[in-house]
A and B are shown apart, each in its own frame.
Chain A
């Protein structure tokens, strides 16, 4: 499988092995995209920031914290992939919404895993980001949940 060039996804949540289900959907969605798995506190790591600043091309930051902050500090263009807690926190807490704002502002695009999340996030910012928002669903494994047998006649 050929990997896409000039794009790197950053996330702190990615399956460690085949038995690990945390962030399994990211693995399915980014099959052709290189993924950099970071630590939860890497947004404070100067080494990590410098490493990203040296690179070129587009970033996909999964979750505002910590990946979005790192993408912002890298100075590179990035797609902000907002997931559940990002959106619920921004809507509920004004301070968090204020902190997230420059990160969302600088993103090239914003993606959400559901319409509900896109609406929740945009409600926190008065639809300021609606024009660059897009829903891309989480993939579900056909092989695992929709095998050849007929599910209706189980």
Chain B
């Protein structure tokens, strides 16, 4: 299984949990093969490098993310303080299901498209890793439930730039002092 995570290298993205999950899945030989790629950059790069060791592939920010979403079987980002998380939608649109944190921006995306699983990220890292592992194995076992054409279409419709521009125009029309 090929897993992808994308984001700025800052604490709230919780890449540390990704690395720990990857290590444990390998140790337990829970998946036939596993490659975990993390793409990003930012202030905590050195720190992530130390934790990552040789467990995950670290890739600097890239111009085009599409080929990476298309490479991956699954997108994982257990971050907190995530207002929305465009990466989740981009991932689903490229046919890659997602795992995100409950009660964050990803909630709405998963609820409305069905393209992934939301996991609880409690204070205990051990529990958090356990939850992420469980979700990965569930998606691996029932892949077509979490990724199919209907799910992709829902994500495409939800984020359609033309529709969103129209929503803005209606709001502007209603709010304008000259209307």
A positions within 8 Å CB-CB of B: 4, 6-7, 19, 25, 28-33, 57-58, 60, 77, 79, 83-84, 87-88, 108-109, 111, 113-117, 134, 136-142, 144-147, 151-152, 154
Contact = CB atoms under 8 A, between A and B. Distances in A.
B147 A139 contact: no
A139 B165 contact: yes
Given A25-B86, A146-B94, A152-B148, 17 more contacts: A6-B178, A29-B161, A33-B172, A57-B177, A77-B177, A83-B83, A84-B82, A111-B171, A116-B104, A116-B107, A134-B171, A137-B84, A137-B164, A139-B164, A140-B86, A144-B64, A145-B94
Contact of A79 (B107, B161, B164, B172): B172
A33 to B, nearest CB: 7
* Secondary structure type dominating chain A contacts: loop
Interface in B68-106: 69-70, 81-84, 86, 89-90, 93-95, 103-105
Interface of B: 63-64, 66, 69-70, 81-84, 86, 89-90, 93-95, 103-105, 107-108, 147-149, 152, 155-156, 158-161, 164-165, 167-169, 171-172, 174-178
Q: Which 5 A-B pairs have the closest CB atoms?
A: A151-B95, A84-B83, A139-B161, A140-B159, A114-B84
A116 B105 contact: yes
How would you classify the secondary structure of chain B's contact residues: helix, strand, loop or mixed?
helix
Given A19-B63, A145-B94, A79 B84 contact: no
Among A19, A32, A60, A151, chain B packs the most CB atoms within 10 A around the CB of: A151
A60 B172 CA distance: 9
A31 B165 contact: yes
A136 B152 contact: no
Contacts, number: 123
A30 B93 contact: no
A113 B83 contact: yes
Contacts of A25: 86
A8 B95 CA distance: 36
Nearest to A5: B178
B83 A140 contact: no
Contact of B161 (A60, A116, A142): A142
Given A4-B169, A139-B165, A146-B93, A58 B156 contact: no
A108 B152 CA distance: 35
B171 A136 contact: yes
A154 B70 CA distance: 7
B84 A116 contact: yes
Residue from A31, A142, A145 having most chain B Cβ neighbours under 10 A: A145
Contacts of B172: 4, 7, 33, 58, 60, 79
